Amino acid sequence: MIEIKNVSKWYGQFQVLTDCTTEVKKGEVVVVCGPSGSGKSTLIKCVNGLEPFQQGDIVVNGTSVGDPRTNLSKLRSHVGMVFQHFELFPHMTITDNLTIAQVKVLGRSREEATDKGLKLLDRVGLKAHAHKHPGQLSGGQQQRVAIARALAMDPICMLFDEPTSALDPEMINEVLDVMVELAQEGMTMMCVTHEMGFARKVAHRVIFMDQGRIVEDAAKDDFFGKPHSERAQQFLAKILQH
């Protein structure tokens, strides 16, 4: 579903990604972790072309992201993305947040879009908040709306860019619960996250990045059992201590 082939990226002179190669198969849940500044967020933003890259290629469902002839808007319309800071549109109601892209991009009627949006809102347990603005919701609630907004586009896969790192600890679980459910339904997911509990529960594979490189790319049990690289061992030792 997502093939990342030898991707390298520079910000000016500074190389942020070095020769990254991996793959996410249909129905697979892949967790990307690593220390901050390791390039994991940059890598996931390359997948839907939000960040350009200079070398290599990424192919999503048969479409090349790096090809200048690719209609990126069309490609993005069926790749859902959830951001660290939610990025709901603050000037719109929750309902409008859920429907705007369905109407403007997919050409659905307002009724159809609202119907779909409200169903998904119900699914993330927030139906009562449809008429509110994002500012009136807690962080965890906003992130659940953001997930519903992405799902409303009927995505073929979902990208999560540190979806819980801006949340208060007590709100993390409500978001993870939605993600776990999604994973168990067979959604193809690529998640940048430090939530190792989530990784253990639903991930098929774990990718560990450091200094712009994919250092470790292993099945979940192998990764948590005995990571090959020393760097990954150190990282795991630190975050699993508590």
Partner 1 sequence: MYEFDWSSIPGALPLLGKGLLVTLEVTLTAIVVGIGWGTLLAVARLSSNRLLSFLAAGYVNLFRSVPLVMVILWFYLIVPQALKGLFGQDIGDIRLVSALVAFALFEAAYYSEIIRAGIQSVPKGQVAAGLALGLTPGQTMRLVVLPQAFRNMIPLLLTQAIILFQDTSLVYVIGLSDFFGTAYKVGDRDGRLVELLLFAGAAYFVICFTVSRLVKHLQARFIK
| Separation of alpha carbons 146 and 80, rounded Å | 10
Q: Give least dist CB 225 to partner 1, A.
A: 35
Q: Nearer to partner 1 by C-beta: 36 or 73? A: 73
Rg (CA), the chain: 18
* Nearer to partner 1 among residue 45 and residue 116 (C-beta): 45
Residue (22 or 99) nearer to partner 1, CB:
99
Q: Which positions touch partner 1 (CB under 8 A)?
A: 45, 48, 50, 72-74, 76-81, 83, 85, 87-91, 100-101, 104-106, 149-150, 153
What's the closest the beta carbon of residue 71 comes to partner 1, in angstroms? 9
Strands in 133-176 per DSSP E: 157-161
Least distance (Å) between residue 4 CB and partner 1: 18
Of the pair 96, 210, the CB lying nearest partner 1 is at 96
Q: Which residue is listed with tokens 């995505």?
A: 155
Task: Please state the closest distance from residue 154 (CB atom) to partner 1, in A.
Answer: 11
Nearer to partner 1, 81 or 206 (CB): 81
C-beta of 49: minimal distance to partner 1 in Å? 8
